[in-house]
Amino acid sequence: MRKRIYEVIELASAQDRLSALYDYTMMSVILVSLIPLMFKASNPAFDFIDKVSAAVFIADYILRLTTADMKLHKGKRSFLLYPFTPMAIIDLLAILPSFTVLLLGLRLVKLLQLFRTFRVFRSLKMFRYAKSVQIIVNVIKSQRAPLLAVCGLACGYVLISALIIFNIEPDTFDNFFEAIYWATVSLTTMGYGDIYPVTTVGRIVTMISSFVGIAIVALPAGIITAGYMDQINQQK
């Protein structure tokens, strides 16, 4: 019985229709549970959606916990280790907002708003059920070394650019964080325009930063595309 439950709740195979139905059902529940976040006001319909979706998520969490040994393959220790796995933590964060009703008597408004925000984590649960997302996760894992190298290059360039512009235009930037913000925006060529250099030297630095940023931002896209094609070819 537990083995069959494990087969159903794991990512669907092409031959297992019940497992596929379970995945599609869970993805539908996740999407519906996010609808209340699109509105500031609350109403009975949203409360009903939250209660039903929370019940489904709790049942899913319990089923996964009871079959943890089949997934982690570490015997009885699996039941203790599973709650600390990344996806289990996401599952727990998706459930917690539904228990805010227990805190209403404490009038902790900011805390309640924080728990409401936690509902966004429900969207991350889709990673478990979408095969395309699983492919992207595998790509990131396989291309981890070059992606980390590019990330390090980008962070280093942002830091250097921020140091340069912060010393060139001390009157424009009140603190170093604003310089970091400007360097990040310039690196990604977003150009919000809320903070910008006013001197000739500062504008030259901005132009150079933007040109280099185009090259740095393009690197991860190429790495991920190549890794994605490799994953597709392996599946074929």
Residues 123 and 173 in one domain: no
| 197 contacts 172 by C-beta, under 8 angstroms | yes
Residues 106 and 149 in one domain: no
Residues 200 and 90 in one domain: no
The residue behind tokens 């939250």 is 50
Rounded distance between C-alpha atoms, residue 221 and residue 14, angstroms: 30
User: What is the domain extent for residue 9?
Assistant: 2-129
- CATH code for position 7: 1.20.120
- CATH code for position 171: 1.10.287.70
Per-residue model confidence as pLDDT tens for the chain (236 residues): 888 888 888 765 667 788 888 888 888 888 888 887 777 777 888 888 888 888 898 999 999 999 998 888 888 899 999 999 888 888 887 787 666 544 444 444 444 445 555 566 666 676 666 666 777 778 888 888 888 888 888 888 889 888 988 888 888 888 888 889 988 888 777 767 778 888 888 888 888 888 888 888 788 888 888 888 887 777 66
DSSP letter assigned to residue 84: G
Rounded distance between C-alpha atoms, residue 134 and residue 215, angstroms: 28
Rounded distance between C-alpha atoms, residue 140 and residue 183, angstroms: 25
Residues 150 and 118 in one domain: no
Please report, to the nearest 10 degrees, the dihedral formed by the alpha carbons of residues 111, 112, 116, 117 taken in order: -20
Residues 154 and 89 in one domain: no
Residues 174 and 57 in one domain: no
What's the token pair of residue 205?
């630095």
Residues 104 and 166 in one domain: no
DSSP letter assigned to residue 97: G
Rounded distance between C-alpha atoms, residue 107 and residue 104, angstroms: 5
Residues 67 and 179 in one domain: no
Q: Which of 122, 68, 71 is nearest to 94 (CA)?
A: 122
Tell whether 76 is covered by a domain. yes
Q: How far is CA 120 from CA 89, 147, 211, 218, in A?
A: 13, 26, 35, 29
Tell whether 136 is covered by a domain. no
Q: Which of 131, 163, 97, 161 is nearest to 20 (CA)?
A: 131
Q: Which of 143, 155, 160, 123 is nearest to 30 (CA)?
A: 123
Residues 64 and 122 in one domain: yes
Tell whether 171 is covered by a domain. yes
Residues 114 and 179 in one domain: no
pTM above 0.85, yes or no: no
